[in-house]
Structure 1
């Protein structure tokens, strides 16, 4: 083998494997890493035992190029007589998938304020007057501000986190007003028990709690929805509880595009709970679900701020 050519292959960013009569003659460090083998141990061995993938082995026999999933990687592979070239496209695939997921999440995130703004504009166009019109304009202003903050939070224009310490009760009236049409349509109401104070981005908590309440209205049964907070050694927890058939599995519901069996007849994208978990992660908390005796609870956690005494036991956990 030409020494200069071998030096070039050794330094190449692509994986290079040379073979003859179905046996490995040479492979560079990148190819060895992509295939998960040790070079010294595979030289002279059968090609299939080195590749350990029938699709790659077939490509070597028939030639051509293909994108192949193997060893938890996405490989672009091209075979010409006696040579197999490999290029790791895993990161590129992950970036594309992340971009697609972000697009879906952003569409879901924007849908709620836009829908609310359209409803308010329609009410104003229908002739809303006086105090009702003033209240509708105020709500429209708040939703416009929230939409602006969502735009500012896009990856290309992200500003420092607008976290502050606030009482959960601050969100109550705003949520009640926004959900009023849905509550009236289902003859439902919300019982609030949220006396705690947390540190987070209020708009993020509002969006997460709105998604949980929307979830309860869509999929729960019964008229009462309970929003309750509690505190333990780890911090504050906040739950939305609704009546209905207890679920057996919760974790997959927090994955984008996943919906439970109970959602079969309800229109939705399967992104609401995935977004809730993403928002919770932004303030250092998490999102979870659990079954109740006659219903289900979906909750959020808020970590105890650094320096806050943790020996205070307010043992209200999951009452």
Structure 2
């Protein structure tokens, strides 16, 4: 019977550690792998030498269950007298966190067009001249189509199937119409210098640019916002530049939930730039930020492929 039990422990998918008098008397292969120890070197040694974690040792001695972060893993452990059972919950935890992040980003991505559509509907209800009413209806139709495409694209992993070659100038009038209330409120305007053509999803670029322009209007101090594109041997780049105090840690701002030091008095979720980076990855590009002489620039890159299956070269933001 004892041999059968040990055979079962050896083949188990969970970690098993048996101890007596504070020393290890058995450890199966999974437990050794999760604890990152060599079995023959920990047998007969103290629990702490095998566990190398005071929280694990405490659970082992006092009993009960716990979730513990150790060895870059998330371990769920259960201790009964003389036995410690170990399950690796790392992948499950990562999947749960990824799902939560996707849900937050999805809510953020829907919030912007819905808010714009509500503004258009309110304008229509208040009464508009015929020409303006027709323009508002056309914008509502475009945003409704975009919402439908967002639903069809779930989950949020953009694939090249939606990409095509298009001129960046195609997005200019659509973005200016959508942002017209915010531009008027701040007496601001956009100066466009975007003569380049890129290969990407127009809806994804539109959403990314909309987020960058929205941030520039919220946090910039000047009235002029510059949208400029350029090209080098590896990529096309597209930047939104606004005046204001130059920032320091741009990379942190692209992490979900992070906001700049000047955002305390501005409503937001801290997901806008995280979404921009995710969208850029969908067409094989990147998103970045950099300080300029009088403010900040946030940009996107678009790879120049010799063919659609070639790998993307390493790129740097324009100087």
Equivalence map 1:241-252=2 (5 Å): 241-252=241-252
Change (3 A) 1:159 1:271: closer
1:134 aligns with 2:126: no
1:85 aligns with 2:66: no
**1:39-93: CA deviation from partner (whole Å, max 9, x where unpaired):** 0111111111100111111111111111111111111101111100000111111
**Secondary structure of the equivalent of 2:256?**
coil
Deviation at 1:161, TM superposition (A): 2.3
Residue in 2 that maps onto 1:289: 289
Equivalence map 1:130-209=2 (5 Å): 130-155=130-155, 161-209=161-209
Residue in 1 that maps onto 2:125: 125
Residue in 2 that maps onto 1:236: 236
Is residue 159–residue 282 contact of structure 2 (8 Å, CA) maintained in 1?
A: no
1:265 aligns with 2:272: no
1:18 aligns with 2:28: no
TM-score of the superposition, structure 2-length normalised? 0.95
Deviation at 1:156, TM superposition (A): 9.2
- Give the CA RMSD over aligned residues: 1.6
Q: Which moved more, 1:1-10 or 1:242-251?
A: 1-10
**Secondary structure of the equivalent of 2:162?**
coil
Quote the Cα distance in structure 2 between the aligned partners of 1:72 and 1:306.
40
1:98 aligns with 2:116: no
Quote the Cα distance in structure 2 between the aligned partners of 1:223 and 1:60.
63
Is residue 208–residue 279 contact of structure 1 (8 Å, CA) maintained in 2?
A: yes
**1:144-180: CA deviation from partner (whole Å, max 9, x where unpaired):** 0000000011129988721110000000000000000
1:301 aligns with 2:301: yes
Residue in 1 that maps onto 2:314: none
Quote the Cα distance in structure 2 between the aligned partners of 1:91 and 1:255.
20
Deviation at 1:129, TM superposition (A): 3.3
Residue in 2 that maps onto 1:313: none
Is residue 241–residue 295 contact of structure 1 (8 Å, CA) maintained in 2?
A: yes
Change (3 A) 1:110 1:157: same
Is residue 14–residue 86 contact of structure 1 (8 Å, CA) maintained in 2?
A: yes
Residue in 1 that maps onto 2:311: none
Quote the Cα distance in structure 1 between the aligned partners of 2:140 and 2:240.
26
Is residue 152–residue 158 contact of structure 1 (8 Å, CA) maintained in 2?
A: no
Q: Flag structure 1 segments of 5+ consecutive residues without an equivalent.
A: 309-316
Deviation at 1:306, TM superposition (A): 2.2
**1:79-116: CA deviation from partner (whole Å, max 9, x where unpaired):** 11110000011111111111110010000000011011
Aligned pair count? 311
Is residue 288–residue 299 contact of structure 2 (8 Å, CA) maintained in 1?
A: yes
Residue in 2 that maps onto 1:71: 71
Quote the Cα distance in structure 1 between the aligned partners of 2:22 and 2:159.
57
Change (3 A) 1:157 1:250: closer
Deviation at 1:3, TM superposition (A): 0.7
Change (3 A) 1:159 1:237: closer
